[in-house]
Amino acid sequence: MNFLDDFIIRAALAGLGVAVAAAPLGCFVVWRRMAYFGEATAHAAILGVALSLALSLPVFAGVLTVALLMALTVSTLSGRGYAMDTLLGVMAHASLAAGLVAVSFLTGVRVDLMAYLFGDILAVSRGDLAVIWGGAGIVTTLVVWRWSALLTATLNTDLAYASGIDPRREQLILTLALAVVVAVAIKVVGALLIAAMLIIPAAAARSFSRTPEAMALVAAGIGAVSALGGLAASWHFDTPTGPTIVCVSALLFAGSAMGAPLRRSG
């Protein structure tokens, strides 16, 4: 019997894949204060699901395309006089609403909205695993390749220009990576919780880390513990798996926040 025949093993590997993909990117989301940006991109995923089903395309392709278009649209409009928080709020909720309306027009297609909104990690297939880990590999490669440039552009735009780095190009790379994370994570935690898996592990890792590289690694560890702990708790208490993973992540963040003063005093 192949060990991948066990759905719990597949679910655990899927959760680890999302943690690996989301952790380094989540650090940049926290550093750049882009939480709403991630949420707007994630909410657009439902519209991508509807279009994929309507056109008989793979869900991953539709979600990736729409998430990327949303991220690029927000990046373009942000420099045209709109307040960023207002723009992102409008785009996030409008895209989610448009996606839900589009799903309602689908005929002859059975759509489990709860699975796409909150994830269905226990239904992950071998094909899903290949997509998740392939996406994690793409994101990790992009971030490692551009790490220094991304970090410089994040810390100081003027310093980036002086170093020959184009901050808008680095923003585009982050946008692409974010779209990939949304596309691979929707199966695990759903469109409504993807932003949480980006932000919470990175925020929890902040007080444990002295360098940006350490923060990314610690965030990956916290994300992995959240995924495996949430899966185990969900199995034990018979609770929805995606939300349970986020709850475990939130508990780890709370512990990190409460322990930070003790670590500083020590």
Residue 35's domain comprises 3-192
The model's pTM = 0.89
Number of structural domains the chain divides into: 1
- What percent of the chain clears pLDDT 70, i.e. is strictly above it? 92
Per-residue 3-state assignment (H helix, E strand, C coil) for the chain = CCHHHCHHHHHHHHHHHHHHHHHHHHHHHHHCCCHHHHHHHHHCHHHHHHHHHHCCCCHHHHHHHHHHHHHHHHHHHCCCCCCHHHHHHHHHHHHHHHHHHHHHCCCCCCCCHHHHHHCCHHHCCHHHHHHHHHHHHHHHHHHHHCHHHHHHHHHCHHHHHHCCCCHHHHHHHHHHHHHHHHHHHHHHHCCCCHHHHHHHHHHHHHCCCCCHHHHHHHHHHHHHHHHHHHHHHHHHHCCCHHHHHHHHHHHHHHHHHHHHHHHHHC
Of the pLDDT bands very low, low, confident and very high (cuts 50, 70, 90), residue 79 is low
- Residue 200 domain-assigned? no
**Is the pLDDT score of 187 beyond 80?**
yes
Please indicate, yes or no, if residue 253 is contained in any of the structural domains. Answer: no
238 within domain boundaries: no
Q: How confident is the model over 127-181, as pLDDT tens digits?
A: 999 999 999 999 999 999 999 999 999 988 888 999 899 988 888 888 889 889 9
CATH code for position 141 = 1.10.3470.10
| Largest interatomic CA distance in the chain | 63
Is residue 235 situated within a structural domain?
Answer: no
Tell me if 259 is assigned to some domain: no
